Amino acid sequence: MQLENLDTNIIGKTFVYYDKIDSTQKEIWRLIDNKKIKNGQLVMAGIQTDGIGTHGRKWHTDENRNIAFSFYVEVNSKLKNIEGITIDLARIIVEIFKTEYHINLQIKEPNDIMCNNKKLGGILTEAKTCRGIVKYLVIGIGINTNKTSFPESIKNIATSVKKEFNISVDEMEFIKYFCKRIEQEIIKRSEKK
């Protein structure tokens, strides 16, 4: 799989796809630790066996054709310029679904994407800071697009685009829309004084 015709300068230009991996977020951190990361690098998975949600929870990506990816971006910006980025990411995701797929989703602040009071997606934002400067961000996105069955423990609180609206989402097209929008957001924040 490739991100073809990607209209960005950095985000997603280095793209790695795994059919199956423990966690895209963990893979980004491994690449950082091994000094093999590139600015804007995006790691996507068909299936995650140990996906990470917020507060150490597990994020279930046990079927293909759902959206699971993480990316790394160098920002070198004051902490105040990065504050609120998670909620802005959530707004971007909701906006993409509205404009491209004509469906309305909600945000449960700061990082959950909701539909009919059930969780449909989430965002995990991690950062490396030094003396009040955010050096880089590692951001993970998980969205249940085509998932139809959920574990007993979460079936009453989780849902998917397919389940709610009976439409299919092309995960590569979605990621291309997302990469363009998030790059614009990061540039805007980095240029603030």
Tell me the C-alpha distance between 46 and 99, whole Å.
25
Under 8 Å between Cβ of 64 and 37 = no
- pLDDT tens-digit map of 43-82: 999 988 876 655 555 655 556 678 999 999 999 999 999 9
The model's pTM:
0.90
Residue 151 banded pLDDT, cuts 50, 70, 90: confident
When pLDDT is cut at 50, 70 and 90, the band that residue 102 belongs to is very high
Say if CB 111 and CB 86 are below 8 A apart: yes
Residue with tokens 């949600």: 53
> Is residue 118 scored above 60 in pLDDT?
yes
- Other CB atoms closer than 10 Å to residue 3's CB: what's the count? 19
- What count of other Cβ atoms lies within 10 Å of the Cβ of residue 133? 14
Options 3.30.1700.10, 3.30.930.10, 3.20.19.10, 3.40.50.300; CATH for 15-190 is: 3.30.930.10
Q: What is the pLDDT of residue 133?
A: 93
Q: Stretch 80-102: mean pLDDT, rounded?
A: 95
Residue 17 has which token pair?
Answer: 């796809």
- What does the alpha-carbon distance between residue 67 and residue 43 come to, in Å, rounded to a whole number? 11
What is the tens place of the pLDDT at every residue in 24-48?
A: 999 999 999 999 999 999 999 998 8
- Contact at 8 Å (CB) between 145 and 161? yes
What are the extents of the domains in the chain? Answer: 15-190
Both tokens of 151, joined, read 């574990």
* Residue 106 in this model has a pLDDT that exceeds 70: yes
